[in-house]
Structure 1
Amino acid sequence: MAAGTLYTYPENWRAFKAQIAAQYSGAALKVASSAPAFTFGQTNRTPAFLNNFPQGKVPAYQGDDGFCLFESNAIAHYLGNDVLRGATPQASAQVLQWVSFADSEIVPPASTWVFPTLGIMQFNKQATEQAKEDVKKVLGVLNQHLNTRTFLVGERVSLADITVACSMLWLYKQVLEPSFRQPYPNVTRWFVTCVNQPQFKTVLGEVKLCEKMAQFDAKKFAEMQPKKDAPPKKEKVPKEAAKPQEKKEKKKEEKKPEPEEMDDCDAALAAEPKTKDPFAELPKSTFIMDDFKRKYSNEDTLTVAVPHFWENFDPEGYSIWYAEYKYPQELTEVFKSCNLISGMFQRLDKLRKNAFASVLLFGTSNNSCISGIWIFRGQNLAFTLCPDWQIDYESYDWRKLDANSEECKTMVKEYFSWEGEFKHVGKAVNQGKIFK
C-alpha cells in the first residue's frame, strides 16, 4: 500500500484528486500544504525540492520509500486501486478517456470563466462568453452519457468520476447557478452523488452549489495583485544640520547586527538571476497597451475598442504585423489547431505587457488555416528579444503592415472583431467557420 507526502497549497482542486483516490484505496497520505512543512512559492523553489520535482510545480508526491511523482493525474492513479483505475482493459481505457476529457475540454473553459470571479485573472468579455458556450457543450456531452448511468464508468466510483468532478468543482461552486444547470439534470445528479460520498466529503467537506452566478470584481482583482512598496520620501535637511545628521546615521549603522545566515529557501531565491527587460532600451510611447486591452476586454469591440485603438495608436512606438501559419496542410482536427494557438499564447505570457494578438482559425477539420494580427512594442518582431519567446514564431510567415493603409485598418477591424470578409484568406477555407 502506498505511503507518502503530498505537497500542495490549500484548496488545490488538482490535489483533491489524489487525496480522494487515497481515501478509496486506503493509502497512507500525509498532506503538506502549510508552514512549516510546506510554503508555496518558497519551499518549491529550494534546491532539495527541485532535485525531486524539476519544474517546482504542485501537487507533488514523495513516497516514504523515496519514490517521487509530479502531475496530479499520475499521482491519483498511483494512489488509487484497481477498482478506481478500471478492473478490465476496456474500463481502464474508458477511465483514461474521461481523465483526458477533463483536462482538454473542462479545465480550459472552466478556468477562463471562474478565475476572474475569484480575482485570480483579469476579466475578458469575449473569452468568458466563449467559455460559457464551451461549458454548455461539455455539460451536454456529460448529460447524454449519464442519462442511463450512475457513474461515468461502470457501476462504482472510478478515477473518471474523481477527476471530472474535481475539474468541475469550482464551476458548481461559483458560476453554475440553477437556471444555467437546469437543462443538465443528469450531470447535477451525478455531481451531487459524487461529492456526497464519504471519501469525497472527507477531502472536500460540504460542497454548496452556486445560487447566483459570481461576477468579476475589479476591486477584488486589484487586491489580489502583488503590491509594490512605495519608495520612502526624502526629506530636505538644512545645510547646517546635514553634517551632524550624517554622523548620527553612521553611528547607527555601526550598531547593526550581522545578517543572519540564509536558509536553503532564501539562498535559492537570492540565487535567481535578475532578468533584464527586453524592451528597456526602447523610447517611451504615448500608446498605453493596458488601456486598450481593458477597452477590448470589457466593452464593445467595433464601437469602442477599435476606435480607441486608432485614436491612441503610436506608429513610432508600436508596429502592426500580419502572421500566417506556414504549414496548413498539417492542420487536422479543429481542437488540435485551437490548442496550437492557445499553446503559443501561454508560452508568450511574459510578452503580454508589450504585445497584443488576435489569431483566428478558419475552415474545418483537414481544411483550415491560421492567421492573425499582432501588435508589438517597437518596430521589429519581439520574439528575437528573448529565447523563451522563439519556440513558435518560426512556424509563421510575418509581414509588417503600414498602419496608415486601408489594408491594415480593414484587417485590424476584422481580426479584432472576429468577423468580416477576410479576403486575404484562401477562398475554400474562408467559406468554413471561424473557430477562434
Structure 2
Amino acid sequence: MATGTLYTYPGNFRAFKALIAAEYSGAKVTVDTTFKFGETNKSKAFLDKFPLGKVPAFESKNGDCIFESNAIAHYVGNEQLLGKSHTDAALVQQWINFGDNEILPASCTWVFPCLGITQFNKQETDKAKEQIQKALGVLNSYLTTRTFLVGERISQADITVACDLLLAYQYVLDPAFRGSYGNVNRWFTTLINQPQFKKVIGDFKLCEKMAQFDGKKYAELHGGDKKKKEDGGDKKKEEKKTPQKKEQPKQEKKEKPAKKDDNDEDVDEDAEKEDTKDPWKDLPKSPFDFDAFKRCYSNEDTVTKALPYFWEKFDKPTMSIWHCIYNYPGELKKIFMTSNLVGGFIQRIEKMRKFSFGSMCVLGEDDKNQISGVWFWRGQDLAFPLHPDWQVDYESYTWTKLDPDDPKARKMVNEHFAWEGDFDVCPGLKFNQGKIYK
C-alpha cells in the first residue's frame, strides 16, 4: 500500500485524481498543508526532487518522487482502478488519454477566461464549445448501455474523466447545454455522489447559469492590483512632498451659459475637449469600416469570409500593415508566461483599438518560443507614438511595414489572422496559441 506526501494547492482538480484514487485503494496520502504555490515549488529542496516545479507532486515514504497527476494516481491506485486484465488496463489508459486530450484542453479554454485566468478569445472559445460537445457526444453514446467506463466498477478511467469535467460542470455546462447528454449526466452525478469522491471534492453543485468572461476580474488578476498599489505609493509620496493648503470657504459655482452652434443648438463642450484628444484626428479618414471587419472576423470563418473581406476592403492610401517580432526571445521561457506578456501589451493599449486590429501569435513550446504579430491601422506610420499611453511595450518589438501587394506579405497576414500555416518568419516554430486585438 502506497504511503507518502502530496504537494499541491487547495482545489487543484488535477490533484483530485490521485486523492480519489487513494480513497478507493486505501493508500495513505497526506497533503502538505504548508505548501505555498509559487514559493515552495520554486525552492531548491523541491526542485531537487521535482525539477519542473510542477504540482501535484508526490513523494513516497520510501523516497520515490512522482510528478504528473495520472502517474501519481497510478502509483497510489490498486488493481481494480488500473484494470484487472490486459484489455481492461488498455481501456483505462484509453479513457484517461481521452479525458486529458479531448476534454481538458477545451474545458480550460472555455472556463479559464470566465475565472479571469486567461484572456477571452471568441474563436478559441467557440472551438472549445464544439470540442466539448463532440466529446460529450462520444461519452453519451458509449454510456448508453454502461454504468461505468471500464467494467462494472469504478476505475481510474472514471475518476480521471470526471475530474477533467469538473470545471465545465461547475461553471459552464448549464441545464440547457448539458440537457442533451443524459447518460453522461447520470454517470457524472453517480460518481460525484460516491463517498470517496465527496471526501475529496466535497458537495458539488452543478452549474445553473453559464459563466461569462469578466474583463474586470481579468484586469484585477493581471495587473490591476499592482497598478493600484503603484498609484497609491505615488500618491503617498506626493502627499509627503506637498504641504497641505488651508481650506478656503466654498463659493457657489456659477452656471456657464450653454455653448451654441451655428443652428442655435446646445454643444457638448466635454465631448469637444475629448475629441481634441483623439490621437487619430489628424490622420486622413479611411473608407475601411474597422467595426464591420471585426464583426466579420469574430462571427464568420476566418479563411473563407474574414480574409477575403479584409483584402477586398483594405484601402492602401489610408491604411498600413505591420509585422512585429519580439526582440528578446532568449528571455521567453514558459508558454503561459509568454502569453501573459502578450496579454499585458494588449491590455495597456486598450484605447488604440478604435482604428486598429492585430493578431499576436505565440510560436513554439516551453523554453523555445517567440512572439510574432501582424497588425493594421489607419495611417502610414507606426501608430504607437500617437499617444504616450501606447508607448510602454512597442519598442520591445521590431516593426516592419508590409507591402499589401507582395505575395509573401499576404501569406504572412493570412497565417497570422487564421492561426495556421508555416510561419516562415520563425523557422521550426509551430503555432501554439494567439491573442486578437480588436
TM-score range, shorter chain: 0.5 to 0.7
Native 8 Å contact 2:339 2:362 kept in 1: no
How much has 1:24 moved relative to structure 2?
Answer: 0.3
What is the aligned partner in structure 2 of residue 339 from structure 1? Answer: none
Note if contact 1:125-1:297 (Cα within 8 Å) is conserved in structure 2.
no
SS of aligned partner of 1:98: helix
Q: Is residue 5–residue 62 contact of structure 1 (8 Å, CA) maintained in 2? A: yes
Q: Which residue is equivalent to 1:158?
A: 155
Secondary structure of residue in 1 paired with 2:219: helix
Change (3 A) 1:165 1:143: same
CA shift in 2, pair 1:138/1:46, >3 Å: same
Which of the numbers 74, 84, 90 marks the counterpart of 2:71? Answer: 74
Aligned pairs (5 A) from 1:44-193: 44-193=41-190
User: Following TM superposition, by how much is the alpha carbon of 1:67 offset from its aligned partner in structure 2, in angstroms?
Assistant: 1.5
Q: TM-score, structure 2 length as denominator?
A: 0.61
Structure 1 residues 312, 73: CA separation in 2 closer, same or farther (over 3 Å shift)? farther
Which residue is equivalent to 2:374?
375
Partner of residue 261, structure 2: none
CA contact (8 A) 1:175 1:212 kept: yes
For structure 2, the residue ranges without an aligned partner over 5 or more in a row are 243-279, 281-289, 301-305, 326-333, 346-357, 364-371, 377-381, 383-399, 422-433
Is the CA contact (8 Å cut-off) linking 2:82 and 2:155 kept in structure 1?
yes
The question of 1:40 aligning with 2:42 is answered no
1:352 equivalent to 2:342? Answer: yes
In 2, the alpha carbon distance for the partners of 1:82 and 1:175 equals 34
TM-score with structure 1 setting the length: 0.62
Change over 3 Å in CA distance of 1:237–1:308 after alignment to 2:
farther
Structure 2 counterpart of 1:375, which letter?
Answer: V
3-state secondary structure, aligned to 2:234? coil
Please report how far the alpha carbon of residue 178 of structure 1 lies from its aligned counterpart in structure 2 after TM superposition: 1.1
The structural deviation recorded for 1:375 is: 3.0
Q: SS where residue 5 of structure 1 aligns?
A: strand
Q: Distance in 2 between matches of 1:126 and 1:157?
A: 36
Question: In the alignment, is the contact (CA less than 8 A) between 1:358 and 1:415 conserved in 2?
Answer: no
Question: 8 Å contact 1:125–1:298 — kept in the other structure?
Answer: no
Identify the residue that residue 221 of structure 1 maps to in structure 2: 218
Distance 2:152 2:207 in 1: 28
- Of 232, 235, 257, the match for 2:234: 232
**C-alpha distance after superposition, 1:263-315 (max 9, x if no partner):** xxxxxxxxxxxxxxxxxxxxxxx9xxxx99xx699955749x96899977574
Contact 1:7–1:61 (8 Å) recurs in 2: yes
CA RMSD between the two structures: 4.1
Please list every run of 5 or more consecutive structure 1 residues that lacks an aligned counterpart in the other structure. Answer: 239-285, 321-343, 361-372, 380-399, 423-435
Between the aligned partners of 1:105 and 1:217, the Cα distance in structure 2 is 26
Instruction: Give yes or no for contact 2:373–2:416 (8 Å, CA) kept in 1.
Output: no
- Would you say how many aligned residue pairs link Structure 1 and Structure 2? 310
Give the Cα–Cα distance (whole angstroms) in 2 for the partners of residues 347 and 145 of structure 1.
38
- Distance in 2 separating the partners of 1:297 and 1:74: 45
Task: State the identity %.
Answer: 49
Q: Residue 405 of structure 1 aligns with which residue?
A: 405
1:183 Cα offset (Å): 1.4
Change (3 A) 1:232 1:18: same
Q: How does 1:319-358 map to 2 (within 5 A)?
A: 319=324, 349=339, 352=342, 356-357=359-360
Question: 2-side partners of 1:112 and 1:9: how far apart?
Answer: 21
Q: Counterpart amino acid of 2:197?
A: F
